[in-house]
Amino acid sequence: MNAITLSAVSKSYGEVLAVDGLSLTMERGRTVALLGPNGAGKSTTINMLLGLVRPTAGDIRVLGHTPDEAVRRGEIGAMLQEGTLIPEMTVRELVDFIRRLYPEPLPLDEVLQMADLTALAGRRAGKLSGGQAQRVRFALAIAGAPALLVLDEPTAAMDVESRRAFWANMRNYSAQGRTVLFATHYLEEADENSDRVIVVARGKVVADGTAAEIKAGVGGSVVGFSLGEQSSAGLDALPGVTAVEILAGSVTLRTADPDATVAALYRGTSLEVRDLQINGADLEDAFLALTQPAEA
């Protein structure tokens, strides 16, 4: 049984088609990143999986059930972008209240530890910072030990240290055979923390595979170097170059032929190039290549 199955799912809001005939499956026990630009249909797809929004057409199954049935069975945990905590309750009281709604919840102290909230257990929810509140939302999402965990921009408002701790805790949770689906704008998080990446644009899947497969499929390389005070005119005319980015004296050339680009850079210009680096395309490069044509 798959964790998630979408069959020709569409969702329209009036004349706006948010999701366009989406068909895909997600195996159990995997960690899947859902990527796409604003308006691509990510949040609508997540809301349909949770039964918060009804599809206009198509069929959705979550662990073999309709989304409503899966929610009633306590098989889904969700951490959404928005959600107000009850300000008067302490963190411990709030987490314990939610976990008692599930048939087989995780132990309270285990939930607090996994969400890095043990030291904040006695603090009232209304006194938490934005990042701390996000950790509480994560705790509420895992409190019932759901087989499917859905996260929509989970590290928003978290600082770097909190984000690192969050993903470590999430990996510990998924290592027990549970399925995790997360949407994020932080592409490095998808690269580092997913078994599979699904990229959507205009409500359709435009790429599906591991992060390495998607990066390899786009191809291309990045040539970077320091230029100092010299003029950068003509860099866009170098062989293979498809884009030029310059920031505070640091130049990034996106190129389809790095050998030809570097050769021309040294032999065909009088520039004093320093700190030369050549790298393959990263997930951000792949994301832009896949989604920008779809948006044009």
pLDDT per residue over 78-136, tens digit each? 998 777 899 999 999 999 999 999 989 999 999 999 999 999 999 999 999 988 999 99
Both 45 and 20 in a single domain?
yes
Give the rounded percent of residues in the chain with a pLDDT score beyond 90. 62
Of 163 and 88, the structure prediction assigns the larger pLDDT to 88
Identify which of 66, 57, 59 has the alpha carbon closest to the alpha carbon of residue 7: 59
Helices (H), the chain: 42-49, 67-72, 91-99, 108-114, 130-142, 160-174, 187-193, 211-218, 258-267, 283-295
Is 57 within a domain? Answer: yes
Report the predicted TM-score, pTM, of the whole model to 2 decimal places. 0.79
Residue 233 has pLDDT above 90, yes or no: no
Both 206 and 230 in a single domain?
no
Both 182 and 92 in a single domain?
yes
At residue 293, the pLDDT reads 52
Is 29 within a domain? Answer: yes
Average pLDDT of span 152-168: 88
Average pLDDT of span 161-173: 88
Identify which of 252, 254, 241 has the alpha carbon closest to the alpha carbon of residue 275: 252
Strand ranges across the sheet with 196-201: 76-79, 148-152, 179-183, 31-35, 196-201, 204-209
Which tokens is 75 given? 């098989």
Both 196 and 94 in a single domain?
yes
The strand pairing partners of 24, in sequence order, are 6
Which tokens is 78 given? 């969700």
Both 94 and 238 in a single domain?
no
Is 267 within a domain? Answer: yes
Average pLDDT of span 152-181: 89
Is 229 within a domain? Answer: yes
Both 40 and 137 in a single domain?
yes
Both 162 and 244 in a single domain?
no
Residue 294 has pLDDT above 50, yes or no: no
Both 149 and 231 in a single domain?
no
What sign results for the dihedral spanned by CA atoms 187, 190, 196, 199? negative
Both 70 and 191 in a single domain?
yes
Domains: count for the chain: 2
Non-local CB neighbours of 70 within 8 Å, separated by 6+ positions? 51, 62, 63, 76, 148
Q: What range defines the domain where residue 200 resides?
A: 4-211
Task: Give the CATH number of the domain where residue 145 resides.
Answer: 3.40.50.300
Both 125 and 241 in a single domain?
no
Which of the listed residues 151, 181, 211 is the one where a domain comes to its end? 211
Both 260 and 130 in a single domain?
no
